[in-house]
Structure 1
Amino acid sequence: MSWNEEWAAAATCKQSRPDELFVRGAEQHKAKVVCAGCPVRAECLAEALDNRIEWGVWGGMTERERRAVLRKRPNVTSWRALLAAAKEAHLGTSSVTA
């Protein structure tokens, strides 16, 4: 499976109500379950990291988790490129372009 440019249309959460994904505390764990089997989890996470989205669960990560990732890798200029390359390596394909 290659990088999905139209990832939002394929997202598992598109069937959910937005208020189920933009929650606080323990409710975030329930929201992350929605992401667990999503086919476009990496694309969603890249969107949140590249755009510094500060609220909600995106790509299976809470805002706190995303902030931690951003602090650990402050020099990444394109999370989309990084995650696309990782997805390509994991899947053993060469059809992904960043």
Structure 2
Amino acid sequence: MTMLDRTAAADGSWAAQGRCRELDPDGFFVQGAHQQKVKTLCAACSVRLECLADALDNRIEFGVWGGMTERERRRLLREHPGVSDWYEALERARTRSECRTG
């Protein structure tokens, strides 16, 4: 367990529950086709939404976070400049999507 894992586990944060918690963090800072492989790791993560919201809220510029690349996150930020709470916005979008498909 890394220092980050111990800190996250101690405070009960979402990061302690991520599928990536035991993986090499450098693996999430890749380019090109490798990004698609990393995104598949995020797809089934139980805290994907929290991870993505944190990256968007904090304008994290590099790496795959919450299943999105830096380019995808930049586009989302440009398309929705008025969003101040990304977790809330993503949760609403997920709920609407589930209602349409369910």
TM-score (norm 2): 0.77
Q: Which residue of 1 aligns with 2:70?
A: 63
Q: How large is the Cα RMSD of the aligned pairs?
A: 1.9
- The structure where helix makes up a greater share of residues is 2
- Give the number of the structure whose alpha-carbon radius of gyration is greater: 2
Residues 2-44 of structure 1: CA deviation (Å, up to 9, x unaligned):
xxx7210000011210111111111111110110100000000
Q: Which residue of 1 aligns with 2:33?
A: 26
Q: Which residue of 2 aligns with 1:44?
A: 51
TM-score (norm 1): 0.80
Q: Which residue of 1 aligns with 2:20?
A: 13
Q: Which runs of 5+ in 2 are unaligned?
A: 1-11
Report which stretch shifted further, 83-92 or 60-69. 83-92
Counterpart of 1:36, as a letter, is A
Q: Which runs of 5+ in 1 are unaligned?
A: 93-98
The 1-side partners of 2:77 and 2:64 are apart by 15
- What is the aligned length? 88
Q: Which residue of 2 aligns with 1:54?
A: 61
Runs of 4+ in 1 over 6 A off after TM superposition: 89-92
Higher relative contact order (CA 8 A, sep 6+): 1
